């Protein structure tokens, strides 16, 4: 088991990539806390992950955009597990609109969850991990933050911010033994399914396979590796798990 004994928090663990990650981590022997605002789905995923074992998963209702709430939740989860080895920041939202139509409410919605949620959870995890002098944080960027995708200006701005944050704190926190990387996925999830109509034929032109990847088959094994000791010397990287989507124009 690649993650035997690891203590992990996954935000956005109720569906899609989050669900696949929680279940894969438990299969590899980890203790997992899943955070989400989708309580019924989140609890169901945690129960499935525990039943599949040999690791276990627990669920907490957490709004990552609430600084006090996520800070307390990270501390409580780490206390319950006896420490924290890995934080995975999957929680995220998307809202497609022409750039000139973005409202203050749109920007608050996107930045509160995608950027502030990532920062808040990361800061709370750092406070726990620094005492141990080791740990790993996996943030979530996007091809939209690297290459232009019409209609996603607001979302793209948040993901560009997350990737810039990742590189900077990888430098700062790496000095204290905590590695920070960002994953750039192109995986079929409820969120990407909802936005497919806005992407035209972009996804059908993915070089490897002609479509988005599968969460269980194509994504979860990468997350297991990045959370494990085999990735101990990987830091400050933007890691694409996208079948070559970044090459599509």
Q: pLDDT tens, 34-55?
A: 999 999 999 999 999 999 999 9
Residue 171 structural domain: 7-241
Active site positions, annotated: 155
Residue 247 lies in a domain: no
Pairing of strands 31-36, 135-140: unpaired
Residue 248 lies in a domain: no
State the pLDDT at residue 189: 77
pLDDT above 70 covers a percentage of the chain that reads: 90
Confidence label for 197 from pLDDT (cuts 50, 70 and 90): low
Residue 182 lies in a domain: yes
Residue 1 lies in a domain: no
Confidence label for 230 from pLDDT (cuts 50, 70 and 90): very high
23 neighbors 244 (Cβ within 8 angstroms): no
- Report the C-alpha gap between 30 and 25 in whole angstroms: 5
Complete DSSP assignment for 123-171: HHHHHHHHHHT-EEEEEE--GGGTS--TTBHHHHHHHHHHHHHHHHHHH
State the pLDDT at residue 212: 81
Residue 114 lies in a domain: yes
Confirm whether pTM is higher than 0.75.
yes
Does residue 17 sit in helix, strand or coil? helix
Residue 130 has pLDDT above 80, yes or no: yes
pLDDT above 90 covers a percentage of the chain that reads: 81
Residue 58 has pLDDT above 90, yes or no: yes
Confidence label for 244 from pLDDT (cuts 50, 70 and 90): low
Mean pLDDT, residues 140-155: 89
Confidence label for 17 from pLDDT (cuts 50, 70 and 90): very high
Residue 249 lies in a domain: no
Unique residue bearing structure tokens 């990387």:
181
State the pLDDT at residue 242: 78
Count of the separate structural domains present in the chain: 1
Residue 196 has pLDDT above 60, yes or no: no
Whichever domain contains 214, its CATH number is 3.40.50.720
Mean pLDDT, residues 197-220: 72
Residue 200 has pLDDT above 60, yes or no: no
């Amino acid at each position: 088991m690649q993650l035997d004994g690891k203590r992990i928090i996954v935000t956005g663990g109720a569906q899609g990539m989050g669900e696949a990650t929680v279940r894969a981590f438990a299969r590899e022997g980890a203790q997992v806390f899943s955070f989400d605002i989708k309580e019924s789905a989140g609890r169901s995923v945690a129960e499935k992950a525990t039943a599949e074992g040999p690791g276990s998963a627990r669920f907490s209702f957490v709004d990552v955009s609430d600084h006090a709430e996520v800070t307390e939740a990270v501390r409580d989860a780490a206390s319950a597990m006896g420490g924290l080895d890995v934080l995975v920041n999957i929680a995220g939202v998307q809202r497609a609109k022409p750039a000139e139509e973005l409202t203050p409410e749109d920007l608050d919605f996107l930045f509160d969850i995608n950027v502030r949620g990532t920062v808040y959870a990361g800061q709370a995890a750092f406070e726990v991990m620094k005492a141990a002098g080791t740990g790993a944080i996996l943030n979530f960027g996007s091809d939209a933050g690297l290459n232009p995708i019409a209609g996603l200006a607001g979302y793209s701005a948040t993901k560009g911010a997350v990737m810039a944050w990742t590189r900077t704190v990888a430098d700062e926190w790496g000095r204290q033994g905590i590695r920070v990387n960002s994953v750039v996925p192109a995986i079929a999830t409820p969120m990407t399914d909802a936005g497919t109509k806005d992407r035209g034929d972009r996804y059908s032109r993915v070089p490897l396979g002609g479509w988005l990847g599968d969460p269980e088959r194509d994504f979860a094994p990468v997350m297991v590796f990045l959370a494990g000791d085999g990735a101990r010397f990987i830091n400050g990287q933007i890691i694409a798990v996208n079948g070559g989507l970044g090459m599509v124009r």
